[in-house]
Chain A
């Protein structure tokens, strides 16, 4: 459950104030304004327009921010999104349920396996399918591996944004290890398309579980290294503490979710509050911050990585034998050797591919806890093989909508840190 954590900042680096914050030389408008008149040109009151992006490494994709600056202080921020809009939801209305799965890889591409699982969870609710026990555990493994990938990319890119290079290399190295596992399972690193309605594309191959076990043994050491490098680092603390603060009430009202919300002190985690895939039977904690600033978001994500390792260890312990796919020829394709040798299987195969499985009339909204927050898939079916409406509830879209509130009053260089802390993926925002 919600655990409160305190960080004791005992910093030994010089250049710090008594309470552990790095001393700042007053810059920009404030310093100029306090100078006696005549020495510095009178710049007060003149605001500047700064455009960041859409092609800028610190905007994590094609985000564009138009900033109004007073000196170096942000007065107003106007975000522009939509440069990557591909119309996934429109295309989904012309596709069968299984044909939409590849689109889910491409929206939040750091969490592709998690999206695949989330999508089929919604579709299975719509079809009324109860999946097998092995499939549930495999999906938990897939989702937690995706969470690890996504948080590692967040960690690496945020370090780059703030000026640390080494943790970036460490985290991307570990990310590559996870991708190797996913590649062995699904055949692809990023665009996995690893699930099907009613099951998975395949069972894990021989030796895969041992590979994952080896990764789980090594990975916490990397986390410790990152922890040692960053958590008490004076520069890191100085560049993140007190930035982009959202109070718990504000965070809820702005619809933030995931680590953004929990860093503000609201212990809302879909895995605990609206469990799916038997998450309520796993033993894990939900880390919660207290200040709701960039530093707390870092701590929450760092702790979530450790909790993901815990969940993965439990999942490996309980991974049952048995079939992965449901035993229902109306949903699942027949095995290849049967489809090429038996008439009935061939007809099933043909009808499933050409016509597609049909859910009953209905609608459902199934949320999951993606690395960015509450991701939901909303389906409306009119009984045909293609959804009337397929809606993605994008967590980083809603999280990003609070950026004007978060950056106002901060310095221009802090905008980069705050933007990085939101953990946006433009593929998911623009869809």
Chain B
């Protein structure tokens, strides 16, 4: 350790308290069973609190998965984050899984982590592909701000709408991308359009239209645009990406 770094400083205003002594760190899991094993205690707490909202749970490779009713996800997450006995203060990931099976529902997956209790919980909700259920789940942006881009990516790749998200736009693909949602199983790996069509779209793109209308409104930059672009935007053409 370098000399200028001293250890005498007071503890930071906020520090994660490790649940045990430093020597008690959990060992690297060995010989993890495929199915079964210890269930995350949060599952029982969730059942006691929310009852029928919580669906089945299973433990695979030592990780607990809980199914939650679709429209109650945000409430469940808010409780898991704020309840001091659960304290899932960290959202690792939001993503979705579509199976190769044509009828098996799409699953939206939330990976939650309690740093305080060293717990990991996977929440899932099922969105049937056929039928009237829309591909919509409540956004958890209000609980964890880190969900912002993760949900946008999930929307971009799977077309799942997160209701309540403040700015649900495409993020990795550009805004005028018309071929659909790339990680869906019915989306071919080479894209939905033919090569010639993709080339045609690329060549006809307007390279000046790189600002969204929102961005153009920032600085009255509209007046500085080339004449033909102003005309197109005035005619209702959407710009930006």
Report A's interface with B, CB cutoff 8 A.
1-8, 46-49, 51, 66, 68, 76, 78, 80-82, 85, 87, 89-91, 94, 125-126, 128, 130, 224, 227, 231-232, 247-250, 252-256, 265-268, 272-280, 285, 288, 290, 299, 303, 306, 360, 362-365, 367, 374, 376, 378, 380, 382, 388-389, 391, 393, 397-398, 400-402, 405, 430-431
**Contact for B9 among A5, A81, A363, CB less than 8 A:** A5
Q: Which residues of B contact A248 (CB under 8 A)?
A: 12-15
Interface size on B, as a range, is 35 or more
Q: Which residues of B contact A66 (CB under 8 A)?
A: 211, 215
A305 to chain B, nearest CB (A): 11
**Contact for A4 among B2, B4, B7, B148, CB less than 8 A:** B7
A246 to chain B, nearest CB (A): 11
**Contact for B219 among A48, A91, A279, A364, CB less than 8 A:** A48
Beyond A82-B171, A303-B2, A382-B99, 7 additional contacts (C-beta under 8 Å) are: A255-B150, A266-B14, A274-B26, A360-B34, A363-B97, A365-B93, A376-B93
Q: Which residues of B contact A362 (CB under 8 A)?
A: 34-35, 60-61
Chain B CB within 10 A, most for which of A231, A306, A365: A365
Contact between A3 and B7 (Cβ–Cβ < 8 Å)? yes
> Known: A5-B5, A76-B218. Is A253-B145 also a contact (CB below 8 A)?
yes
> Known: A2-B15, A393-B111. Is A8-B146 also a contact (CB below 8 A)?
no
A97 to chain B, nearest CB (A): 15
Q: Which residues of A contact B31 (CB under 8 A)?
A: 130
Q: B61's closest neighbor in chain A, by CB?
A: A364
**Contact for B90 among A80, A255, A306, A378, CB less than 8 A:** A255
* Interface-lining segment among B44-52, B115-123, B199-207: B115-123
Secondary structure class of chain A's binding surface, majority of residues: mixed
Contact between A82 and B61 (Cβ–Cβ < 8 Å)? no
Secondary structure class of chain B's binding surface, majority of residues: loop
Residue-wise, chain B 53-80 has the 8 Å CB interface mask toward A (1 for contact) of 0000000110101000000000000000
Contact between B15 and A255 (Cβ–Cβ < 8 Å)? no
> Known: A91-B189, A94-B189, A364-B61. Is A6-B6 also a contact (CB below 8 A)?
yes
Q: Please give me the 10 A-B residue pairs with the lowest Cβ-Cβ distance, nearest first.
A: A255-B146, A248-B14, A265-B12, A49-B219, A401-B149, A6-B9, A82-B172, A5-B5, A280-B25, A85-B172
B211 to chain A, nearest CB (A): 7
B189 to chain A, nearest CB (A): 6
Docked CA distance A46–B74 (Å): 40
Docked CA distance A306–B172 (Å): 36
Docked CA distance A78–B9 (Å): 38
Q: Which residues of A contact B194 (CB under 8 A)?
A: none
Contact between A275 and B27 (Cβ–Cβ < 8 Å)? yes
Report B's interface with A, CB cutoff 8 A.
1-2, 4-16, 18, 22, 25-28, 30-32, 34-35, 60-61, 63, 65, 89-93, 95, 97-101, 109, 111, 115, 118, 120, 122, 144-150, 153, 157, 170-174, 182-183, 187, 189, 210-211, 214-216, 218-219, 221, 241
Q: A252's closest neighbor in chain B, by CB?
A: B89
Contact between A47 and B219 (Cβ–Cβ < 8 Å)? yes
B219 to chain A, nearest CB (A): 4
Docked CA distance A363–B95 (Å): 13
Q: Which residues of B contact A87 (CB under 8 A)?
A: 182, 189
Contact between B5 and A388 (Cβ–Cβ < 8 Å)? no
**Contact for B111 among A80, A254, A376, CB less than 8 A:** A376
Q: Which residues of A contact B214 (CB under 8 A)?
A: 78
Contact between A367 and B92 (Cβ–Cβ < 8 Å)? yes
B113 to chain A, nearest CB (A): 8
B83 to chain A, nearest CB (A): 16
Contact between A49 and B30 (Cβ–Cβ < 8 Å)? no
> Known: A276-B28, A290-B12. Is A398-B18 also a contact (CB below 8 A)?
no
Q: A220's closest neighbor in chain B, by CB?
A: B2
Q: Which residues of A contact B93 (CB under 8 A)?
A: 365, 376, 378, 391, 393
**Contact for B6 among A5, A81, A397, CB less than 8 A:** A5
Docked CA distance A249–B92 (Å): 15
Contact between A8 and B2 (Cβ–Cβ < 8 Å)? no
Q: Which residues of B contact A388 (CB under 8 A)?
A: 97-100
Docked CA distance A224–B35 (Å): 50
Contact between A49 and B28 (Cβ–Cβ < 8 Å)? no
Q: Which residues of A contact B157 (CB under 8 A)?
A: 89
